[in-house]
Structure 1
Amino acid sequence: MTVPDLARTIAAQVARVPGIVAVSLGGSHARGNARPDSDLDLGLAYDAAHPFDLAALSALCRDLDESGSASATPPGGWGPWVDGGAWLTVEGQRVDLIYREVRRVEKSVGDALAGRVSVHAQPGHPHGIHGHHYAAELATGLILHDPSGRLERLRARLGGYPASLAQALEEHYAWQPGFWLDGAAKGLKRGDVHYAQGCLYQAVMAMVQTLGARGRAWILNEKGAVALAGALPGAPPNFAGRVNAALTALDVGAVRNLAAEVG
Structure 2
Amino acid sequence: MAGRLAEVPGVVGVLLGGSRARGEHRPESDWDLGVYYRGGLDLAGLRALAGPDVEVAGPGGWGPWVNGGAWLQVDGVAVDWILRDLDRVEQVWADCREGRYEVGVQAGHPLGFWSPCYAGEVALGQVLADPRGELTALRRRTETYPEPLREALTAGAWEAEFLVDAAAKGATGADTLYVSLCLSRAVGVLVQAMFARDQRWCLNEKGALAVAETLPCAPTGFGPRVRSLLGTPGETAQLLAVTVAEARVLVEETLTALRSHAE
TM over 0.5: yes
Q: CA RMSD in A?
A: 1.4
Asked if the contact 1:86/1:97 (under 8 Å) is kept, the reply is yes
- C-alpha distance after superposition, 1:170-221 (max 9, x if no partner): 1112x12221111111101112111111111111111101111111111101
Determine the structure 2 residue equivalent to 1:22: 13
In the alignment, is residue 98 of structure 1 matched against residue 82 of structure 2?
yes
Any residues of structure 2 matched to 1:84-233 within 5 Å, and which? 84-173=68-157, 175-233=158-216
Identity %: 47
Please list every run of 5 or more consecutive structure 1 residues that lacks an aligned counterpart in the other structure.
1-9, 63-67
- C-alpha distance after superposition, 1:106-146 (max 9, x if no partner): 10110111110211111111111123221111111111111
Structure with greater contact order relative to length (CA < 8 Å, sep ≥ 6): 2
Please list every run of 5 or more consecutive structure 2 residues that lacks an aligned counterpart in the other structure.
234-242, 256-263
Any residues of structure 2 matched to 1:76-87 within 5 Å, and which? 76-87=60-71
Determine the structure 2 residue equivalent to 1:42: 33
Q: Shift of the alpha carbon at 1:76?
A: 1.2
Q: Normalization by structure 2: what TM-score?
A: 0.89
Asked if the contact 2:117/2:204 (under 8 Å) is kept, the reply is no
- C-alpha distance after superposition, 1:74-93 (max 9, x if no partner): 11111111000000111221
Distance in 2 between residues matched to 1:219 and 1:192, nearest whole Å: 30
- C-alpha distance after superposition, 1:12-48 (max 9, x if no partner): 2222222211000001111111122221100001112
Asked if the contact 1:109/1:154 (under 8 Å) is kept, the reply is no
Distance in 1 between residues matched to 2:180 and 2:100, nearest whole Å: 28
The residue matched to 1:94 in structure 2 has which SS? strand
The one-letter amino acid paired with 1:94 is A
